[in-house]
Copies of this chain bind each other. A is one copy, B any other.
């Protein structure tokens, strides 16, 4: 079988563009997300790498208003604590950042890792069981890029209390909470610069600061 990508600059170019224009989205237009498009993106996420082919990702879409309110309340507690713990000179800037789309995005989804899945029969996960959670992250990142390619946006909310989200979703004991995802049509439009950089919170590091050879 010949390799479809060897020397194929178009595929690399498209992927590079996707990576450069992916953003964490916190503001959404109220328009609904096309269900077939969402499904198509989840189908791709489901092809992500996983330790021992264990596919431990579990996606829980939350439409129930009462459950979502419990997640929003968890964000509000966690964010108030984060604000209080932030250095005084950063606090006013922190308070101005919009950090989630929990009330705006038309699709809200929790993602868990099934820590007791029998798929993969523990291959690769005995000395590093955390690779199950890492597999789930690969699926989320695949979903993120797929949605981006479809003109949709994803925001990953981590300012949450994992136990509160776990309870709000009635998740099985064996599941570990990995991420809360807000999905919809992004507002404002596309940007090549991360929002936290535009707002003066942090900047990109030079690559050589994170690379070394031994």
Contacts and interface: CB of A to CB of B under 8 A. Distances in A.
A contact patch SS: mixed
A128 interface: yes
Interface string A182-214: 000010011100101100011111010011111
A69 interface: no
Contacts of A22: 47, 49
A142 B141 contact: yes
Interface string A59-101: 1111110010000000000100110011100100010010100
A61 to B, nearest CB: 5
A159 B63 contact: no
A214 to B, nearest CB: 5
B14 A14 contact: yes
A130 B133 CA distance: 10
| Number of copies of this protein chain within its complex | 2
Contacts of A48: 19, 141
A117 to B, nearest CB: 9
A33 interface: no
Contacts of A11: 14, 17-18, 149
Interface of A: 1-8, 10-12, 14-22, 24, 42-44, 46-49, 51-55, 57-64, 67, 78, 81-82, 85-87, 90, 94, 97, 99, 119-128, 130-131, 133-134, 137-138, 141-142, 144-146, 148-151, 156, 158-162, 169-170, 178-179, 186, 189-191, 194, 196-197, 201-205, 207, 210-214
5 A-B pairs with the lowest CB-CB distances in the bound complex, closest first = A6-B151, A14-B14, A53-B202, A12-B149, A137-B137
30 contacts: A3-B189, A4-B21, A5-B149, A8-B149, A11-B14, A11-B18, A12-B146, A15-B18, A15-B146, A15-B149, A20-B47, A46-B207, A46-B210, A53-B197, A53-B201, A53-B202, A53-B204, A57-B210, A61-B211, A61-B214, A62-B213, A64-B214, A67-B214, A82-B122, A119-B205, A123-B201, A123-B202, A127-B158, A128-B158, A137-B141
